[in-house]
């Protein structure tokens, strides 16, 4: 029987297999001297194992037919926000992009209050920027306005 967990696990296995397949042309390296394919392959193997576990133990999950047709709006909104993030990150900068994404998802998709939306979006956008850019020294796009 097709269940939501079995389908989800199978998708994870396919995605992990695709990453491993595409990484085959890059040098893997070793534990002490990792190559460019080392981390993608390692993460894909972990994802593959978890995908197999989810698919294998997913017999008691809800049947695939039980998924409501109303949920397509959430999936479409997340896809649109992901495309916006990919296209807007360099142009708008990290903080403004994350702020806009979270504000849209919280207010329009999850229908949260304005106070919660603004507070959470500002805290995550500027807090994660401070953590990664300042403390961990990960280069993030600043954007044209310096935000």
> Residues 74-127: pLDDT tens digits?
889 999 999 999 999 999 999 999 999 999 999 999 999 999 999 999 999 999
What is the rounded distance in angstroms from the CA atom of residue 44 to the CA atom of residue 33?
Answer: 19
Whether 143 maps to a domain, the answer reads no
Per-residue pLDDT, 67? 74
Stated as kind and residue range, the H or E segment containing 60 is none
If asked whether residues 88 and 33 sit together in one domain, one would say no
Residue 130 is given by DSSP the state I
Per-residue pLDDT, 146? 75
Structure confidence by residue, pLDDT tens digits, 13-46? 999 999 999 999 988 888 888 888 899 999 999 9
Strand partners, 29: 34
Whether 145 maps to a domain, the answer reads no
If asked whether residues 107 and 81 sit together in one domain, one would say yes
* Model confidence at 69: pLDDT above 90: no
If asked whether residues 62 and 98 sit together in one domain, one would say no
The percent of residues above 70 in pLDDT, for the chain, comes to 99
Q: Read off the pLDDT of each residue in 48-67 and give the average, rounded to a whole number.
A: 86
If asked whether residues 126 and 85 sit together in one domain, one would say yes
Whether 62 maps to a domain, the answer reads yes
If asked whether residues 23 and 78 sit together in one domain, one would say no
pLDDT interval class at 145 (50, 70, 90): confident
| Least confident window among 3-7, 53-57, 90-94 | 3-7
Nearest Cα to Cα of residue 16 among 45, 58, 56: 45
Total residues belonging to the chain: 147
What is the rounded distance in angstroms from the CA atom of residue 32 to the CA atom of residue 129?
Answer: 30
> Which backbone phi and psi does 30 adopt, to 5 degrees?
-135, 180
* SS3 per-residue string spanning 83-125: HHHHHHHHHHCHHHHHHHHHHHHHHHHCCCCHHHHHHHHHHHH
The last residue of a domain, from among 51, 66, 81 = 66
3-state DSSP assignment of residue 63: strand
């Amino acid at each position: 029987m097709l269940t939501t967990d079995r389908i989800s696990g199978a998708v994870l296995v396919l995605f992990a297999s695709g990453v491993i397949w595409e990484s085959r042309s890059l040098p893997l390296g070793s534990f002490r001297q990792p190559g460019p394919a080392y981390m993608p392959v390692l993460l894909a193997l972990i994802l593959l194992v978890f995908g197999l576990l989810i698919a294998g133990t997913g017999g008691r999950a809800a049947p695939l037919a039980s998924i409501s047709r109303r949920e397509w709006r959430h999936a479409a909104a997340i896809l649109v926000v992901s495309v916006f993030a990919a296209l807007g990150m360099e142009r708008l900068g990290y903080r403004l992009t994350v702020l806009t994404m979270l504000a849209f998802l919280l207010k329009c998709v999850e229908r949260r209050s304005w106070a919660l939306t603004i507070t959470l979006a500002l805290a995550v956008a500027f807090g994660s920027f401070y953590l990664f850019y300042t403390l961990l020294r990960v280069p993030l796009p600043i954007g044209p306005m310096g935000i």
